[in-house]
C-alpha cells in the first residue's frame, strides 16, 4: 500500500522520467486501441496495405486519387484477395470473378452485412447487397 501511495503521489509524477514513462504508456495504449481491430486479417495471413491507427487506409485512398484506383493498385500488388480498412471498417476485397460468383451465389448466407456508403430510400433499400443479418 505504501508503494502505491508513493507511485500516485504528485511529487513522484513531477520527476521527468516518471512523466516520460507515463506519456509513453498513454501513447502506447492509444496506439494499441487504434490498431486492435486491424489485426484480425493479419492473423489469417490476408495480405493488404498496412493501416494507420483509427484512419485505416484513408490516406492511401487520397494518395491514389480515388477508391477505384487504390483497389486496382492493391489488386496488382497483393493479388486477387486482399484486405483494406476505411476508417475502422475492415473489408475483404475479392477481385477474382469466379470467387465473387461463388460468394454471391453459393456462399451468400456466410457473407452478409456488407459495407454500404449511402442509405438508400425504400424500395431500393430492399436489395441483396444491402441485406443485413438474417434478412
Number of domains in the chain: 1
Q: Is 18 part of any domain? A: no
* C-alpha cell belonging to residue 12: 513522484
Q: Is 49 part of any domain? A: yes
For residues 37 and 88, is the Cβ–Cβ distance under 8 A?
yes
Output the pTM of the full model: 0.62
* C-alpha cell belonging to residue 45: 495471413
Q: Is 90 part of any domain? A: yes
- Alpha carbon distance 135, 125 (integer Å): 12
pLDDT digits (tens, 9 = 90+) for 82-101: 988 887 778 889 999 999 88
For residues 46 and 82, is the Cβ–Cβ distance under 8 A?
yes
* C-alpha cell belonging to residue 115: 459495407
Per-residue confidence (pLDDT) for residue 8, from 0 to 100: 59
pLDDT digits (tens, 9 = 90+) for 22-37: 788 888 888 877 777 7
Q: Is 107 part of any domain? A: no
Q: Is 11 part of any domain? A: no
* 1-10, 11-20, 66-75, 104-113, range with the lowest pLDDT: 1-10
Positive or negative torsion for Cα 77, 82, 87, 88: negative
Q: Is 129 part of any domain? A: no
Alpha-carbon Rg of the chain, whole angstroms? 22
What is the extent of the structural domain holding 89?
37-95
Q: Is 58 part of any domain? A: yes
> What DSSP character marks residue 92?
E
Q: Is 123 part of any domain? A: no
Amino acid at each position: 500500500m505504501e508503494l502505491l501511495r508513493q507511485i500516485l503521489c504528485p511529487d513522484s509524477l513531477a520527476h521527468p522520467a516518471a512523466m516520460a514513462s507515463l506519456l509513453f504508456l498513454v501513447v502506447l495504449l492509444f496506439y494499441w486501441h487504434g490498431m486492435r481491430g486491424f489485426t484480425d486479417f493479419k492473423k489469417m495471413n490476408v495480405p493488404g496495405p498496412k493501416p494507420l491507427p483509427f484512419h485505416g487506409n484513408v490516406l492511401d485512398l487520397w494518395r491514389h486519387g480515388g477508391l477505384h484506383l487504390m483497389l486496382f493498385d492493391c489488386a496488382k500488388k497483393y493479388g486477387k484477395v486482399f484486405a483494406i480498412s476505411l476508417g475502422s471498417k475492415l473489408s475483404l476485397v475479392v477481385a477474382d470473378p469466379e470467387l465473387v460468383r461463388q460468394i454471391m451465389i453459393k456462399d451468400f448466407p456466410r457473407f452478409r452485412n456488407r459495407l454500404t456508403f449511402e442509405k438508400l430510400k425504400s424500395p431500393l433499400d430492399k436489395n441483396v447487397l444491402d441485406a443485413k443479418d438474417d434478412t
